[in-house]
Amino acid sequence: MNPKHDDIRCKSCNALLAKLDETGLTIKRGDLQVTVDGAFRATLVCYRPRCRSLNILNISTELRGTQARAVKTA
Taking only the tens place, the pLDDT of each residue in 9-36 is 999 999 999 999 988 899 999 999 999 9
Mean pLDDT of 38-54: 93
At position 49, the amino acid (one-letter code) is P
Q: Note down the domain range covering 26.
A: 5-72
Instruction: Name the pLDDT band for 45 (thresholds 50, 70, 90).
Output: very high
Distance of alpha carbon 67 from alpha carbon 16, whole angstroms: 21
pLDDT of 22: 86
- Exposure string of 5-38, with b = 16+ CB inside 10 Å and e = fewer, is eeebebeeeeeebbbbeeebbbbeeeeeeeeeee
Instruction: Of 51, 73, 50, give the one whose Cα is nearest residue 60.
Output: 73
Supply the mean pLDDT for the chain. Answer: 82
**pTM for the predicted model, two decimal places:** 0.73
**Number of folded domains that form the chain:** 1
